[in-house]
Structure 1
Amino acid sequence: MTLQVEPDVTFGMHPDFGVAAAVADDRPFLDEVLRKHHFRHSRHLDVYLLPVGTPHNTAVRTVASATREFHDAGYSVAADPRIMIPPPVPTPNGVPARAPQPGQSLTALTGQLHDLRRAADVSEVLGEILDEHHGVVPDLEEFIDTAAAWCEQLGTSNGHELGLHLRNIAHHVAFLGDQLDGAQVELAVMPEATPENAPPLAEVSLRDRQEWLRVTNTARARVAVASSPNRPATSPKHQGNDAVPRPQDASASPSRTR
Protein backbone atom coordinates (compact mmCIF):
# COMPACT_ATOMS: atom_id res chain seq x y z
CA MET A 1 0.00 0.00 0.00
CA THR A 2 1.39 3.38 -1.02
CA LEU A 3 0.53 6.37 1.17
CA GLN A 4 0.18 9.73 -0.56
CA VAL A 5 2.06 12.33 1.48
CA GLU A 6 1.29 15.42 -0.57
CA PRO A 7 -2.38 16.21 -1.40
CA ASP A 8 -3.39 17.13 -4.93
CA VAL A 9 -5.00 20.40 -3.80
CA THR A 10 -4.47 22.44 -0.64
CA PHE A 11 -6.71 25.26 0.62
CA GLY A 12 -5.35 27.73 3.12
CA MET A 13 -5.44 31.33 4.35
CA HIS A 14 -3.16 33.98 2.86
CA PRO A 15 -2.55 36.81 5.38
CA ASP A 16 -3.26 39.52 2.79
CA PHE A 17 -5.50 37.93 0.16
CA GLY A 18 -7.73 35.55 2.10
CA VAL A 19 -8.57 32.01 0.99
CA ALA A 20 -6.00 30.55 -1.40
CA ALA A 21 -5.58 27.23 -3.21
CA ALA A 22 -2.37 25.50 -4.29
CA VAL A 23 -2.03 22.47 -6.55
CA ALA A 24 0.64 19.76 -6.43
CA ASP A 25 1.31 19.86 -10.17
CA ASP A 26 0.06 21.49 -13.33
CA ARG A 27 -2.96 19.43 -14.34
CA PRO A 28 -5.67 20.98 -16.53
CA PHE A 29 -8.51 19.41 -14.52
CA LEU A 30 -7.38 21.01 -11.26
CA ASP A 31 -7.16 24.40 -12.95
CA GLU A 32 -10.57 23.90 -14.57
CA VAL A 33 -12.32 23.06 -11.29
CA LEU A 34 -10.74 25.96 -9.40
CA ARG A 35 -11.65 28.44 -12.14
CA LYS A 36 -15.18 27.03 -12.19
CA HIS A 37 -15.43 28.00 -8.52
CA HIS A 38 -14.11 31.54 -9.20
CA PHE A 39 -10.48 31.00 -8.18
CA ARG A 40 -7.96 32.76 -10.39
CA HIS A 41 -4.25 31.92 -10.62
CA SER A 42 -1.77 34.52 -9.41
CA ARG A 43 1.53 34.18 -11.24
CA HIS A 44 3.26 36.37 -8.69
CA LEU A 45 2.24 34.16 -5.75
CA ASP A 46 1.81 30.91 -7.73
CA VAL A 47 -1.49 30.18 -5.96
CA TYR A 48 -5.16 30.50 -6.83
CA LEU A 49 -7.13 33.29 -5.12
CA LEU A 50 -10.78 34.23 -4.83
CA PRO A 51 -11.83 37.71 -5.97
CA VAL A 52 -11.07 40.51 -3.54
CA GLY A 53 -14.02 41.18 -1.24
CA THR A 54 -15.49 37.66 -1.38
CA PRO A 55 -17.66 37.30 1.77
CA HIS A 56 -16.45 34.80 4.35
CA ASN A 57 -19.49 32.51 4.11
CA THR A 58 -19.24 32.50 0.31
CA ALA A 59 -15.56 31.54 0.52
CA VAL A 60 -16.30 28.67 2.92
CA ARG A 61 -19.08 27.33 0.67
CA THR A 62 -16.80 27.66 -2.36
CA VAL A 63 -14.04 25.62 -0.71
CA ALA A 64 -16.55 22.96 0.35
CA SER A 65 -18.07 22.74 -3.14
CA ALA A 66 -14.70 22.54 -4.89
CA THR A 67 -13.51 19.93 -2.38
CA ARG A 68 -16.50 17.71 -3.10
CA GLU A 69 -15.83 17.92 -6.82
CA PHE A 70 -12.17 17.01 -6.34
CA HIS A 71 -13.09 14.09 -4.08
CA ASP A 72 -15.66 12.81 -6.57
CA ALA A 73 -12.93 12.78 -9.21
CA GLY A 74 -10.56 10.83 -6.95
CA TYR A 75 -8.23 13.67 -5.94
CA SER A 76 -6.98 14.29 -2.40
CA VAL A 77 -7.59 17.65 -0.71
CA ALA A 78 -6.22 19.28 2.44
CA ALA A 79 -7.69 22.41 4.02
CA ASP A 80 -6.50 24.71 6.79
CA PRO A 81 -9.16 24.75 9.58
CA ARG A 82 -8.63 28.51 9.95
CA ILE A 83 -10.69 28.94 6.77
CA MET A 84 -13.77 28.26 8.92
CA ILE A 85 -13.07 31.06 11.42
CA PRO A 86 -15.23 34.08 10.56
CA PRO A 87 -13.87 37.63 10.68
CA PRO A 88 -14.70 39.69 13.78
CA VAL A 89 -17.87 41.78 13.81
CA PRO A 90 -17.09 45.53 13.50
CA THR A 91 -17.55 47.40 16.78
CA PRO A 92 -17.52 51.11 17.76
CA ASN A 93 -14.24 52.70 18.77
CA GLY A 94 -13.17 51.63 22.24
CA VAL A 95 -15.34 48.49 22.25
CA PRO A 96 -13.32 45.26 22.00
CA ALA A 97 -14.27 43.00 19.11
CA ARG A 98 -15.76 39.61 19.91
CA ALA A 99 -13.33 36.79 19.20
CA PRO A 100 -14.74 34.56 16.44
CA GLN A 101 -15.57 31.02 17.51
CA PRO A 102 -15.18 28.17 14.99
CA GLY A 103 -17.45 25.14 15.03
CA GLN A 104 -20.47 26.85 16.60
CA SER A 105 -22.84 26.17 13.72
CA LEU A 106 -26.17 24.50 14.39
CA THR A 107 -25.11 21.67 12.09
CA ALA A 108 -22.04 20.94 14.22
CA LEU A 109 -23.98 21.17 17.48
CA THR A 110 -26.81 18.97 16.17
CA GLY A 111 -24.21 16.39 15.22
CA GLN A 112 -22.96 16.36 18.82
CA LEU A 113 -26.40 15.33 20.08
CA HIS A 114 -26.13 11.99 18.29
CA ASP A 115 -23.28 10.89 20.58
CA LEU A 116 -24.74 12.01 23.92
CA ARG A 117 -26.39 9.74 26.50
CA ARG A 118 -27.07 12.03 29.49
CA ALA A 119 -29.54 14.89 29.79
CA ALA A 120 -26.90 17.05 31.47
CA ASP A 121 -24.68 16.70 28.39
CA VAL A 122 -27.54 17.79 26.12
CA SER A 123 -28.07 20.76 28.45
CA GLU A 124 -24.41 21.71 28.01
CA VAL A 125 -24.72 21.70 24.21
CA LEU A 126 -27.90 23.75 24.44
CA GLY A 127 -25.94 26.19 26.58
CA GLU A 128 -23.53 26.70 23.68
CA ILE A 129 -26.48 27.79 21.51
CA LEU A 130 -27.57 30.26 24.19
CA ASP A 131 -24.11 31.52 25.16
CA GLU A 132 -24.12 35.31 25.43
CA HIS A 133 -20.83 35.76 23.58
CA HIS A 134 -20.94 33.26 20.71
CA GLY A 135 -24.28 31.44 20.88
CA VAL A 136 -26.43 30.98 17.80
CA VAL A 137 -29.57 32.51 19.34
CA PRO A 138 -27.94 35.77 20.55
CA ASP A 139 -26.06 35.98 17.25
CA LEU A 140 -29.34 35.68 15.33
CA GLU A 141 -30.87 38.41 17.48
CA GLU A 142 -27.87 40.67 16.83
CA PHE A 143 -28.02 39.92 13.10
CA ILE A 144 -31.69 40.92 12.90
CA ASP A 145 -31.08 44.08 14.95
CA THR A 146 -28.22 45.01 12.62
CA ALA A 147 -30.44 44.42 9.58
CA ALA A 148 -33.07 46.66 11.19
CA ALA A 149 -30.49 49.43 11.71
CA TRP A 150 -29.48 49.11 8.05
CA CYS A 151 -33.09 49.56 6.95
CA GLU A 152 -33.52 52.59 9.17
CA GLN A 153 -30.44 54.19 7.58
CA LEU A 154 -32.33 54.39 4.29
CA GLY A 155 -34.20 57.39 5.65
CA THR A 156 -37.47 56.38 3.99
CA SER A 157 -40.86 55.54 5.44
CA ASN A 158 -40.63 52.00 4.04
CA GLY A 159 -37.16 51.55 5.51
CA HIS A 160 -38.32 52.78 8.92
CA GLU A 161 -41.36 50.49 8.83
CA LEU A 162 -39.26 47.47 7.87
CA GLY A 163 -36.76 48.34 10.60
CA LEU A 164 -39.55 48.29 13.19
CA HIS A 165 -40.78 44.97 11.81
CA LEU A 166 -37.31 43.44 12.07
CA ARG A 167 -36.88 44.68 15.63
CA ASN A 168 -40.18 43.03 16.47
CA ILE A 169 -38.81 39.78 15.01
CA ALA A 170 -35.67 40.23 17.17
CA HIS A 171 -37.98 40.45 20.18
CA HIS A 172 -39.51 37.09 19.24
CA VAL A 173 -36.02 35.60 18.92
CA ALA A 174 -35.26 36.88 22.42
CA PHE A 175 -38.45 35.24 23.69
CA LEU A 176 -37.38 31.99 22.02
CA GLY A 177 -34.04 32.24 23.83
CA ASP A 178 -35.85 32.63 27.16
CA GLN A 179 -37.89 29.49 26.48
CA LEU A 180 -34.79 27.50 25.48
CA ASP A 181 -33.06 28.75 28.61
CA GLY A 182 -35.85 27.21 30.69
CA ALA A 183 -35.54 23.93 28.78
CA GLN A 184 -31.80 23.91 29.43
CA VAL A 185 -32.38 24.26 33.19
CA GLU A 186 -34.82 21.35 33.16
CA LEU A 187 -32.38 19.17 31.20
CA ALA A 188 -29.57 20.04 33.62
CA VAL A 189 -31.50 18.63 36.62
CA MET A 190 -32.94 15.53 34.92
CA PRO A 191 -31.41 12.41 36.51
CA GLU A 192 -32.42 10.09 33.67
CA ALA A 193 -29.91 8.77 31.16
CA THR A 194 -30.64 7.27 27.76
CA PRO A 195 -31.31 3.50 28.09
CA GLU A 196 -28.53 1.32 26.75
CA ASN A 197 -30.95 -0.43 24.37
CA ALA A 198 -32.28 2.82 22.91
CA PRO A 199 -31.95 3.06 19.11
CA PRO A 200 -29.40 5.48 17.66
CA LEU A 201 -30.74 9.01 17.39
CA ALA A 202 -30.20 8.98 13.63
CA GLU A 203 -32.78 6.18 13.36
CA VAL A 204 -35.47 8.05 15.32
CA SER A 205 -37.87 9.88 13.03
CA LEU A 206 -38.65 13.46 13.99
CA ARG A 207 -42.25 14.42 14.57
CA ASP A 208 -44.06 16.81 12.31
CA ARG A 209 -44.36 20.27 13.82
CA GLN A 210 -48.13 19.98 14.35
CA GLU A 211 -47.57 16.84 16.44
CA TRP A 212 -45.17 18.42 18.91
CA LEU A 213 -46.56 18.44 22.44
CA ARG A 214 -46.92 21.76 24.17
CA VAL A 215 -44.96 22.30 27.38
CA THR A 216 -47.26 21.67 30.33
CA ASN A 217 -47.70 24.01 33.28
CA THR A 218 -46.29 21.26 35.49
CA ALA A 219 -43.09 21.18 33.48
CA ARG A 220 -42.85 24.95 33.62
CA ALA A 221 -43.28 24.86 37.39
CA ARG A 222 -40.40 22.39 37.66
CA VAL A 223 -38.21 24.70 35.60
CA ALA A 224 -39.15 27.67 37.77
CA VAL A 225 -37.89 26.01 40.96
CA ALA A 226 -35.05 23.97 39.47
CA SER A 227 -31.43 24.80 40.15
CA SER A 228 -28.57 24.13 37.77
CA PRO A 229 -24.86 23.55 38.34
CA ASN A 230 -24.28 26.06 35.55
CA ARG A 231 -26.28 28.96 37.02
CA PRO A 232 -27.61 30.23 40.38
CA ALA A 233 -30.88 28.83 41.67
CA THR A 234 -33.02 31.76 40.53
CA SER A 235 -36.47 31.48 39.08
CA PRO A 236 -36.74 32.31 35.39
CA LYS A 237 -39.50 34.56 34.19
CA HIS A 238 -42.83 32.74 34.08
CA GLN A 239 -44.98 33.22 31.03
CA GLY A 240 -48.70 33.25 31.72
CA ASN A 241 -49.69 31.68 28.43
CA ASP A 242 -48.22 29.94 25.41
CA ALA A 243 -48.59 32.85 23.00
CA VAL A 244 -45.52 34.82 21.99
CA PRO A 245 -45.97 38.30 23.43
CA ARG A 246 -45.96 41.24 21.06
CA PRO A 247 -44.03 44.26 22.34
CA GLN A 248 -45.86 47.51 23.01
CA ASP A 249 -42.99 49.41 21.43
CA ALA A 250 -41.41 47.54 18.55
CA SER A 251 -38.34 49.74 18.72
CA ALA A 252 -37.59 48.80 22.32
CA SER A 253 -34.52 46.71 23.02
CA PRO A 254 -35.22 42.98 23.31
CA SER A 255 -34.83 41.26 26.66
CA ARG A 256 -31.72 39.28 25.64
CA THR A 257 -29.00 41.78 24.88
CA ARG A 258 -25.25 41.63 24.59
Structure 2
Amino acid sequence: MNLHLEPDVAFGVHPNLGVAAAVTDDRPFLDEVLRKHHFRHSSTLDLYLLPGGTPHNTAVRTVARVSREFQEAGLSVAADPRLMVPPPIPTPDGVAVRQALPGQSLTALTGELHELRRSADVADVLEQVLDEHHGVVGDLEEFIDTAAAWCSRLDTPNGRELSQHLRTIAHHVAFLGDQLVDAQLDLAVMPDVTPADAPPLAEVPLPARYEIPAVTHTARSRAALASSPNLPTAATRPAPPGEAVTSRATAPNARRSR
Protein backbone atom coordinates (compact mmCIF):
# COMPACT_ATOMS: atom_id res chain seq x y z
CA MET A 1 0.00 0.00 0.00
CA ASN A 2 1.48 3.32 -1.10
CA LEU A 3 0.76 6.26 1.19
CA HIS A 4 1.06 9.74 -0.31
CA LEU A 5 2.93 12.00 2.09
CA GLU A 6 2.06 14.95 -0.14
CA PRO A 7 -1.18 15.22 -2.14
CA ASP A 8 -1.11 15.61 -5.89
CA VAL A 9 -3.61 18.48 -5.65
CA ALA A 10 -4.56 20.67 -2.70
CA PHE A 11 -7.51 23.08 -2.51
CA GLY A 12 -7.67 26.02 -0.17
CA VAL A 13 -8.94 29.57 0.28
CA HIS A 14 -6.72 32.53 -0.61
CA PRO A 15 -7.52 35.51 1.68
CA ASN A 16 -7.97 37.91 -1.23
CA LEU A 17 -8.43 35.78 -4.33
CA GLY A 18 -10.88 33.11 -3.20
CA VAL A 19 -10.68 29.38 -3.92
CA ALA A 20 -7.25 28.21 -5.08
CA ALA A 21 -5.67 24.92 -6.14
CA ALA A 22 -2.00 23.97 -5.88
CA VAL A 23 -0.42 21.04 -7.76
CA THR A 24 2.77 19.15 -6.99
CA ASP A 25 4.05 19.25 -10.57
CA ASP A 26 3.16 20.54 -14.03
CA ARG A 27 1.60 17.37 -15.43
CA PRO A 28 -0.64 18.24 -18.41
CA PHE A 29 -3.51 16.15 -16.99
CA LEU A 30 -3.71 18.26 -13.83
CA ASP A 31 -3.73 21.47 -15.86
CA GLU A 32 -6.33 20.11 -18.29
CA VAL A 33 -8.80 19.06 -15.60
CA LEU A 34 -8.49 22.27 -13.61
CA ARG A 35 -8.95 24.46 -16.70
CA LYS A 36 -11.95 22.38 -17.77
CA HIS A 37 -13.61 23.37 -14.50
CA HIS A 38 -12.78 27.09 -14.98
CA PHE A 39 -9.65 27.31 -12.85
CA ARG A 40 -7.02 29.61 -14.35
CA HIS A 41 -3.30 29.47 -13.60
CA SER A 42 -1.60 32.46 -11.99
CA SER A 43 2.09 32.41 -12.93
CA THR A 44 2.81 35.02 -10.24
CA LEU A 45 1.42 32.89 -7.40
CA ASP A 46 1.89 29.51 -9.10
CA LEU A 47 -1.71 28.69 -8.16
CA TYR A 48 -4.90 27.87 -10.01
CA LEU A 49 -7.75 30.25 -9.15
CA LEU A 50 -11.48 30.29 -9.81
CA PRO A 51 -12.77 33.51 -11.43
CA GLY A 52 -13.37 36.35 -9.00
CA GLY A 53 -16.92 36.59 -7.75
CA THR A 54 -17.64 32.86 -8.09
CA PRO A 55 -20.59 32.16 -5.72
CA HIS A 56 -19.75 30.07 -2.66
CA ASN A 57 -22.01 27.13 -3.54
CA THR A 58 -20.69 27.06 -7.10
CA ALA A 59 -17.10 26.99 -5.80
CA VAL A 60 -17.85 24.14 -3.37
CA ARG A 61 -19.53 22.07 -6.09
CA THR A 62 -16.63 22.75 -8.47
CA VAL A 63 -14.04 21.59 -5.94
CA ALA A 64 -16.10 18.45 -5.29
CA ARG A 65 -16.35 17.62 -9.00
CA VAL A 66 -12.65 18.23 -9.64
CA SER A 67 -11.64 16.22 -6.56
CA ARG A 68 -13.78 13.28 -7.69
CA GLU A 69 -12.25 13.37 -11.17
CA PHE A 70 -8.72 13.37 -9.78
CA GLN A 71 -9.47 10.59 -7.31
CA GLU A 72 -11.00 8.44 -10.04
CA ALA A 73 -7.69 8.85 -11.89
CA GLY A 74 -5.82 7.51 -8.84
CA LEU A 75 -4.52 10.88 -7.63
CA SER A 76 -4.57 12.10 -4.03
CA VAL A 77 -6.45 15.27 -3.13
CA ALA A 78 -6.50 17.44 -0.01
CA ALA A 79 -8.94 20.26 0.77
CA ASP A 80 -9.00 22.90 3.50
CA PRO A 81 -12.22 22.47 5.57
CA ARG A 82 -12.68 26.26 5.50
CA LEU A 83 -13.81 25.84 1.90
CA MET A 84 -17.18 24.72 3.30
CA VAL A 85 -17.74 27.84 5.43
CA PRO A 86 -20.03 30.26 3.54
CA PRO A 87 -19.48 34.02 3.59
CA PRO A 88 -21.62 35.99 6.06
CA ILE A 89 -24.99 37.34 4.93
CA PRO A 90 -24.87 41.15 4.47
CA THR A 91 -26.72 43.03 7.21
CA PRO A 92 -27.63 46.70 7.77
CA ASP A 93 -25.36 48.86 9.91
CA GLY A 94 -25.79 48.14 13.59
CA VAL A 95 -27.18 44.63 13.04
CA ALA A 96 -24.98 41.77 14.21
CA VAL A 97 -23.60 39.61 11.40
CA ARG A 98 -24.93 36.07 11.56
CA GLN A 99 -22.14 33.58 12.23
CA ALA A 100 -21.31 31.55 9.13
CA LEU A 101 -21.13 27.78 9.61
CA PRO A 102 -20.79 24.92 7.09
CA GLY A 103 -24.06 24.22 5.33
CA GLN A 104 -26.14 21.33 6.64
CA SER A 105 -27.02 18.76 4.02
CA LEU A 106 -30.65 17.69 4.11
CA THR A 107 -29.68 14.70 1.96
CA ALA A 108 -27.20 13.60 4.63
CA LEU A 109 -29.82 13.95 7.36
CA THR A 110 -32.24 11.86 5.30
CA GLY A 111 -29.53 9.22 5.01
CA GLU A 112 -29.13 9.19 8.79
CA LEU A 113 -32.76 8.12 9.19
CA HIS A 114 -31.93 4.77 7.54
CA GLU A 115 -29.63 3.87 10.45
CA LEU A 116 -31.91 4.89 13.34
CA ARG A 117 -34.15 2.61 15.39
CA ARG A 118 -35.52 4.79 18.22
CA SER A 119 -38.17 7.50 17.89
CA ALA A 120 -36.11 9.82 20.10
CA ASP A 121 -33.17 9.56 17.69
CA VAL A 122 -35.38 10.54 14.77
CA ALA A 123 -36.56 13.51 16.86
CA ASP A 124 -32.93 14.57 17.32
CA VAL A 125 -32.34 14.53 13.56
CA LEU A 126 -35.54 16.47 12.94
CA GLU A 127 -34.43 19.01 15.54
CA GLN A 128 -31.38 19.74 13.37
CA VAL A 129 -33.72 20.60 10.50
CA LEU A 130 -35.61 22.97 12.85
CA ASP A 131 -32.59 24.49 14.62
CA GLU A 132 -33.30 28.14 15.39
CA HIS A 133 -30.05 29.45 13.92
CA HIS A 134 -28.90 26.90 11.32
CA GLY A 135 -31.89 24.69 10.48
CA VAL A 136 -32.83 24.31 6.83
CA VAL A 137 -36.48 25.31 7.43
CA GLY A 138 -35.47 28.67 8.88
CA ASP A 139 -32.84 29.11 6.19
CA LEU A 140 -35.47 28.50 3.49
CA GLU A 141 -37.81 31.06 5.06
CA GLU A 142 -34.99 33.62 5.20
CA PHE A 143 -34.00 32.89 1.60
CA ILE A 144 -37.58 33.43 0.36
CA ASP A 145 -37.93 36.63 2.41
CA THR A 146 -34.69 37.92 0.90
CA ALA A 147 -35.87 37.01 -2.61
CA ALA A 148 -39.09 38.94 -1.89
CA ALA A 149 -37.07 41.97 -0.78
CA TRP A 150 -35.05 41.69 -4.01
CA CYS A 151 -38.26 41.79 -6.06
CA SER A 152 -39.52 44.81 -4.10
CA ARG A 153 -36.30 46.64 -4.94
CA LEU A 154 -37.25 46.49 -8.64
CA ASP A 155 -39.94 49.08 -7.81
CA THR A 156 -42.20 47.88 -10.64
CA PRO A 157 -45.77 46.53 -10.49
CA ASN A 158 -44.56 43.04 -11.45
CA GLY A 159 -41.79 43.18 -8.88
CA ARG A 160 -44.14 44.25 -6.10
CA GLU A 161 -46.67 41.59 -7.05
CA LEU A 162 -44.06 38.83 -7.08
CA SER A 163 -42.68 40.12 -3.78
CA GLN A 164 -46.11 39.71 -2.17
CA HIS A 165 -46.38 36.22 -3.66
CA LEU A 166 -43.00 35.23 -2.21
CA ARG A 167 -43.94 36.61 1.20
CA THR A 168 -47.04 34.45 1.13
CA ILE A 169 -44.84 31.44 0.35
CA ALA A 170 -42.54 32.37 3.26
CA HIS A 171 -45.61 32.38 5.52
CA HIS A 172 -46.43 28.84 4.40
CA VAL A 173 -42.84 27.77 5.13
CA ALA A 174 -43.14 29.23 8.65
CA PHE A 175 -46.41 27.33 9.13
CA LEU A 176 -44.70 24.15 7.87
CA GLY A 177 -41.96 24.67 10.45
CA ASP A 178 -44.53 24.86 13.24
CA GLN A 179 -46.15 21.64 12.07
CA LEU A 180 -42.75 19.92 12.00
CA VAL A 181 -42.02 21.16 15.54
CA ASP A 182 -45.23 19.45 16.72
CA ALA A 183 -44.18 16.21 15.00
CA GLN A 184 -40.68 16.47 16.46
CA LEU A 185 -42.03 16.90 19.99
CA ASP A 186 -44.34 13.90 19.53
CA LEU A 187 -41.39 11.77 18.35
CA ALA A 188 -39.28 12.91 21.32
CA VAL A 189 -41.75 11.45 23.86
CA MET A 190 -42.58 8.24 21.98
CA PRO A 191 -40.87 5.20 23.53
CA ASP A 192 -41.21 3.17 20.32
CA VAL A 193 -38.28 1.25 18.81
CA THR A 194 -38.11 -0.32 15.35
CA PRO A 195 -38.41 -4.13 15.64
CA ALA A 196 -35.23 -6.07 14.98
CA ASP A 197 -36.88 -7.96 12.11
CA ALA A 198 -38.24 -4.83 10.38
CA PRO A 199 -37.30 -4.51 6.68
CA PRO A 200 -34.65 -1.95 5.72
CA LEU A 201 -36.11 1.53 5.37
CA ALA A 202 -35.02 1.64 1.73
CA GLU A 203 -37.38 -1.27 1.01
CA VAL A 204 -40.42 0.35 2.64
CA PRO A 205 -42.54 2.20 0.04
CA LEU A 206 -42.99 5.89 0.73
CA PRO A 207 -46.54 6.86 1.78
CA ALA A 208 -48.73 8.22 -1.00
CA ARG A 209 -49.21 11.99 -0.92
CA TYR A 210 -52.45 13.86 -1.37
CA GLU A 211 -52.95 15.13 -4.89
CA ILE A 212 -52.33 18.89 -5.04
CA PRO A 213 -54.56 20.71 -7.56
CA ALA A 214 -52.79 22.67 -10.28
CA VAL A 215 -52.42 26.35 -9.41
CA THR A 216 -53.71 28.71 -12.09
CA HIS A 217 -52.25 32.12 -12.85
CA THR A 218 -55.36 33.74 -11.33
CA ALA A 219 -54.87 31.77 -8.11
CA ARG A 220 -51.22 32.81 -8.02
CA SER A 221 -52.21 36.46 -8.40
CA ARG A 222 -54.72 36.13 -5.57
CA ALA A 223 -52.09 34.55 -3.34
CA ALA A 224 -49.61 37.30 -4.23
CA LEU A 225 -52.10 40.00 -3.20
CA ALA A 226 -53.34 38.18 -0.09
CA SER A 227 -51.18 40.23 2.27
CA SER A 228 -51.33 43.53 0.36
CA PRO A 229 -51.73 46.57 2.66
CA ASN A 230 -54.35 47.92 0.24
CA LEU A 231 -56.66 44.97 0.90
CA PRO A 232 -58.59 44.06 4.08
CA THR A 233 -56.44 42.23 6.58
CA ALA A 234 -56.88 38.56 7.44
CA ALA A 235 -58.63 39.64 10.63
CA THR A 236 -61.38 41.51 8.71
CA ARG A 237 -61.74 39.20 5.71
CA PRO A 238 -64.26 36.37 6.02
CA ALA A 239 -62.51 33.03 5.99
CA PRO A 240 -63.53 30.49 3.33
CA PRO A 241 -65.50 27.56 4.79
CA GLY A 242 -63.22 24.99 6.39
CA GLU A 243 -60.13 27.16 5.88
CA ALA A 244 -58.27 28.64 8.83
CA VAL A 245 -56.82 32.11 8.25
CA THR A 246 -53.54 32.70 10.01
CA SER A 247 -51.47 35.83 10.19
CA ARG A 248 -47.73 35.94 9.57
CA ALA A 249 -47.41 38.31 12.52
CA THR A 250 -49.00 35.86 14.94
CA ALA A 251 -47.57 32.67 13.48
CA PRO A 252 -45.11 31.00 15.85
CA ASN A 253 -41.50 31.26 14.80
CA ALA A 254 -40.41 28.28 12.70
CA ARG A 255 -36.87 28.77 13.96
CA ARG A 256 -37.38 27.35 17.39
CA SER A 257 -35.81 24.29 18.89
CA ARG A 258 -36.95 21.83 21.48
Superposition TM-score, scaled by structure 2 size: 0.80
Residue identity in the other structure for 2:28:
P
Aligned length: 225
Residues 102, 245 of structure 1: alpha-carbon distance in 2 compared, 3 angstrom cutoff:
farther
Partner of 1:37: 37
Residue identity in the other structure for 2:85:
I
Query: SS at the partner of 2:154?
Result: coil
Sequence identity (%): 70
Partner of 1:172: 172
Distance 2:244 2:48 in 1: 51
Partner of 1:101: 101
Residues 149-158 or 10-19, more deviating? 10-19
What are the Cα deviations for residues 135-177 of structure 1, in whole angstroms up to 9, with x where unaligned?
Answer: 1001100100110011011111000000000000001101110
Q: Kindly indicate whether structure 1 or structure 2 has the higher relative contact order, using CA contacts under 8 Å at least 6 residues apart.
A: 2
Provide the aligned C-alpha RMSD in A. Answer: 2.2
How far the C-alpha of 1:128 sits from its partner, in A, is: 1.1
Say whether 1:148 aligns with 2:145: no
What are the Cα deviations for residues 187-231 of structure 1, in whole angstroms up to 9, with x where unaligned?
Answer: 0000012222333333434334349xxxxxxxxxxxxxxxxxxxx
Partner of 1:159: 159
Distance 1:246 1:65 in 2: 46
Distance 1:177 1:81 in 2: 30
Q: How does 1:10-29 map to 2 (within 5 A)?
A: 10-29=10-29
Residues 122, 244 of structure 1: alpha-carbon distance in 2 compared, 3 angstrom cutoff:
farther
Q: How does 1:132-143 map to 2 (within 5 A)?
A: 132-143=132-143
Q: Give unpaired runs (5+ residues) of structure 2.
A: 212-241
Contact 1:20 1:50 in 2 (8 A): yes
Residues 132, 204 of structure 1: alpha-carbon distance in 2 compared, 3 angstrom cutoff:
same
Distance 1:255 1:151 in 2: 25
Partner of 1:75: 75
Residue identity in the other structure for 2:21:
A
Distance 1:244 1:194 in 2: 36
What are the Cα deviations for residues 95-152 of structure 1, in whole angstroms up to 9, with x where unaligned?
Answer: 1111122251212222222222211111111111111111100110010011001101
What are the Cα deviations for residues 24-77 of structure 1, in whole angstroms up to 9, with x where unaligned?
Answer: 111001100000101011112111110110000000111111112112222221
Q: Give unpaired runs (5+ residues) of structure 1.
A: 212-242
Contact 1:168 1:246 in 2 (8 A): no
Partner of 1:256: 253
Contact 2:175 2:254 in 1 (8 A): no
Say whether 1:50 aligns with 2:50: yes
How far the C-alpha of 1:78 sits from its partner, in A, is: 1.4
Superposition TM-score, scaled by structure 1 size: 0.80
Partner of 2:3: 3
